Amino acid sequence: MGTIERKQRLKEEVRCRILDASWQIVQEEGWHALSMRKIADAIEYTAPIIYGYFENKDAILREFTQRGYQILSKTVKEARDQHTDPAEQMEAMWLAYWDFGYEHQAYYQLMYGVSVDCCQQEKMIPEAEETLNLLNETLGKLMAQSKHREQEDHCRRFYTFWSVVHGLISLNIVRKSSSLSLETNRSILFEAIHAIIADIKG
Amino acid sequence: MGTIERKQRLKEEVRCRILDASWQIVQEEGWHALSMRKIADAIEYTAPIIYGYFENKDAILREFTQRGYQILSKTVKEARDQHTDPAEQMEAMWLAYWDFGYEHQAYYQLMYGVSVDCCQQEKMIPEAEETLNLLNETLGKLMAQSKHREQEDHCRRFYTFWSVVHGLISLNIVRKSSSLSLETNRSILFEAIHAIIADIKG
DNA sequence: AATTTTGCTTAACGGTGTTAAAAAAACCTA
DNA sequence: TAGGTTTTTTTAACACCGTTAAGCAAAATT
């Protein structure tokens, strides 16, 4: 009866195949294209058997979410451990954080709810570009007051503004349960915006 | 027959009712719960008639996306027009931008692909909190070197870091077509992180 | 009044996640 | 090896989804 171990091994292998197949589908077609039947097809089974390995589809997504956080955690920790000075550590850690998001976009989408299948028609909607133009225009005037002339510089400043504001909004929406107070949000905004403006003014 | 105008009016009214019903469903249950059949139920019709008013479900979402951008554009413009100094304008505009995201979360989700139905189990995944703890810990050491003592301050600094990094990643993912170069991303990151660290050091 | 046009519904197709029953395969025992 | 038990896998079904085509009934036109 040693076969029980062999069965355990086979069961574990099928579990891996489910995750491997899922990951491949996601990489090729995105999260929206991941379905139980498609996974089953890929591992040459029928859909219901997956429920012997995962409670439901959400459990599969949860597995990947967990993997994402594990990789992120490991990455950030390693970045920290290559420095001793807290300031250098801080820099390395956030850079590592960004690198993770840049390299593992599929993970990041899942972990932080960044759905990609939206507003591709941004250029179809005039008001979308109009808003960006308004902000860009004013930024141009502001930078003209100083001696910034390069387009590159303009682009960077703009995205710095945009990133902090968009990031703050997004984090508030996604982390609805443990989100910040209105006052905290506003003071972060004020400080960040003023800092950027001050930096532009030189 | 002047009835043609009356019919036009009725058709327009049904279109409005579709959008009103859709919006109510979204407010009550979120975007994921919006379905053609549910909309039809709400306006006391059957699903296929909706296709007489909108090409498909995506067209309905596009309508709301457009509305969102219209409101945002109007808001930002109004904020600008209450000031004359570019620096003041810039501040007012980004604050208005944030206010929009805070007040109209449903719109913002649609416009920038912030799906809320994710990672609510963040606390279920130890590694998720571990990453935040690592970053918080190092930030604590960094701030201890200066004379920052308040918890409030700590929280603000942390979210400033997080917002700009998360925002930068998200914008890159969502605006995949017109995203920034790796060099631009890194220089934004470097500048922002160094600025925050410098500010902490005083 | 008969006919055309319009508005709406029913039915259907292919897809989704998920569950229960049926079938097939594997296993164990006699 | 034969028969019965257990495990594995599939088929069928349910309730949804977006979407399209056909059918029907009411309204408008001739």
Q: Please tell me the predicted confidence (pLDDT) of residue B153.
A: 87
Instruction: Say if A57 is an interface residue toward chain B (CB within 8 Å).
Output: no
What are the C-alpha distances in Å from B113 to residues A39, A147, B91, B152, B177? 25, 37, 25, 30, 15
Q: Residue B26 CA to nucleotide D9 C1', Å?
A: 41
CA distance B41 to B44: 5
Cβ contact, residue pair B69, A199, below 8 Å: no
Q: What is the CATH topology of the domain spanning A1-54?
A: Arc Repressor Mutant, subunit A (1.10.10)
Angle at B28 (CA atoms; ends B23, B29), nearest 5 degrees:
100
Contact list in B for residue A60 (CB cut-off 8 A) is none
Q: What is the pLDDT of residues B156-190, one digit of tens each?
A: 999 999 999 999 999 999 988 788 999 999 999 99
**pLDDT at B149 exceeding the cut of 80:** no
Arithmetic mean of pLDDT over chain B: 92
The predicted structure's pLDDT at residue B120: 59
pLDDT at A1: 39
Q: B145: which 2 tokens?
A: 């070197």
In tens, the pLDDT along B70-92 reads 999 999 999 999 999 999 999 99
Residue listed under structure tokens 């008001």: A127
pLDDT computed for residue A31 by the predictor: 96
B183 touches chain A (CB under 8 A): no
Query: What is the mean pLDDT of the segment spanning B11-34?
Result: 96
Q: Is the CB of A1 under 7 A from strand C?
A: yes
Q: Is the distance from CB of B106 to CB of A193 less than 8 angstroms?
A: no
CATH architecture of B8-54: Orthogonal Bundle (1.10)
Domain boundaries, chain A: 1-54, 61-118, 121-201
- A191 CB-near residues (< 8 Å, 6+ apart): B156, B160, B199
Closest in B87, B145, B168 to A142, CB measured: B87
| Interface residues, strand D, Cβ cutoff 7 Å | A 7, 11, 45-49, 52; B 1, 3, 34-38, 47-48, 51, 56-58
Measured CA to CA, the distance from residue B59 to residue B53 in angstroms comes to: 10
- In order along its 202 residues, chain A shows pLDDT tens digits of 346 677 788 889 999 999 999 999 999 999 999 999 999 999 999 999 999 999 999 999 999 999 999 999 999 999 999 999 999 999 999 999 999 999 999 999 999 999 876 655 556 789 999 999 999 999 999 999 988 777 778 999 999 999 999 999 999 999 887 889 999 999 999 999 999 999 998 7
pLDDT at A119: 58
- Searching chain B, which residue's CA lies closest to the CA of residue A100? B169
- Taking the Cβ of residue B127 and every Cβ of chain A, the question of whether any pair is shorter than 8 Å is answered with yes
pLDDT band at residue B57 using 50, 70 and 90 as cut-offs:
very high
Q: Which nucleotide is nearest to A14 (CA to C1')?
A: D8
pLDDT at residue B100 in the model: 98
